[in-house]
Amino acid sequence: MPVTSDNGVPIVVADAFKRRVVLLSPIVVVGLGFALARITVVIWGAWSWIPVILYYWVILVVLIVWGGGREAVRRWLQPSRTGRWIWVWRVLALALPALFVPPVFLLSLASMNRWWVVVFWFGLGAINPWIEEGYWRGLLMDAASHWPAWLAALYSAVCFGASHPLIFGYPGADALQGYAGFFGTFIAGVIWSLVYQQTRSLRLPIVGHLLQHMLAPPYLVLLQLIAILG
């Protein structure tokens, strides 16, 4: 069942051409990010994640503006629809970050002894969820709204999961490397995709994503950076 607006009209990107471009855009986003990460890590070492994250944000924002525009953003940020079982999706959206509280957040407090750690940690955590949810859940799933709902959610989650180890899993960012880096973000992607489909809003995925960033990555990436720099 495709994602629909409150009046039952399927949510789609403005035209067929844009829809096709958006659906194929993860290949470009991940491919260019992968190449950039491997080049910059040779030049800047542990600090290479800075130009990589800037590239990542810029290309996602450009795609959101071009493929969705202001109207799409306004729709994504509308209140969640109401319903008998909507509380289930609210709990589910916040359940994932809650899993990180005991082992990760308490450990993170010990690393909050450098000003730049605090700045980067909270800066990334505050900015990244808006951009990633807008692209991976909002724009990409809207473009796939003519697909079966399960396929749109799976496609978004797989692309989202693959993007993290391929773009950010370079040497020094051990937390995002390999299968662990994929499956962690894949599971999060599945959950937030389902929440978006059921609530027709990105508010809950953004809040859940923001909380996860406060409790886990990009915190884990910063820990690797701290270890490298001593």
Determine the average pLDDT of the residues in 145-164.
95
| Residue 202 pLDDT grade (very low, low, confident, very high; cuts 50, 70, 90) | very high
Digit-coded pLDDT (tens) for 95-112: 766 665 555 565 556 666
| Residue 121 pLDDT grade (very low, low, confident, very high; cuts 50, 70, 90) | confident
Does the pLDDT at position 69 exceed 60?
yes
Angle at the Cα of 64 from the Cα atoms of 161 and 127, rounded to 5 degrees? 65
Interhelix angle 16-44/49-67, rounded to 10 degrees, is 170
Determine the average pLDDT of the residues in 208-217.
77
36/38 Cα distance (integer angstroms):
6
Cis-peptide, bond into residue 205, ω within 30° of zero: no
Digit-coded pLDDT (tens) for 122-145: 788 889 999 999 999 999 999 999
| Residue 185 pLDDT grade (very low, low, confident, very high; cuts 50, 70, 90) | confident
Q: Given this model, what pLDDT does residue 156 score? A: 97
Cβ atoms 225, 172 nearer than 8 A = yes
What is the chain's percent helix, strand, coil content, to nearest 5?
80, 0, 20
Model pTM?
0.84
